Amino acid sequence: EPEVTQTPSHQVTQMGQEVILRCVPISNHLYFYWYRQILGQKVEFLVSFYNNEISEKSEIFDDQFSVERPDGSNFTLKIRSTKLEDSAMYFCASSEQGGGETQYFGPGTRLLVL
């Protein structure tokens, strides 16, 4: 069964460093998403991406964040200058269509900022 994959599974970084989280969405899916979950809290939407551009973003997704689809398979989330409060699980998701279609989640990247 096709699935969303993410790398790395764990990332430890120093405050102020840049990190890039990588995702390979399900191959026939057109819509891609990033969510994050701070330990013990709810899953929060960050950004949605379609047709090589951001379709929606939350207030969390400020200028320190960017997304890119550098090739036909990868979808990346970059945090330019990490803060302690960026420590969380970051989930990539994808769906065939947008507008409320079912989203399938990857296994996540656990980011720890020291």
- CB-wise, 19 or 23, nearer to another protein? 23
- CB-wise, 14 or 51, nearer to another protein? 51
Smallest distance from another protein to CB 63, Å: 20
Smallest distance from another protein to CB 2, Å: 13
Contacts of residue 43, Cβ cutoff 8 Å, sequence gap at least 6: 35, 36, 37, 91
Handedness of CA 102, 48, 46, 94 (dihedral sign): positive
The C-alpha R_g of the chain, in whole angstroms, comes to: 13
Q: Are 50 and 98 in contact (CB under 8 A)?
A: yes
- CB-wise, 39 or 84, nearer to another protein? 39
Residues that bind another protein (CB under 8 A): 31, 33, 41-45, 48, 50, 55-56, 58, 89, 91, 98-108
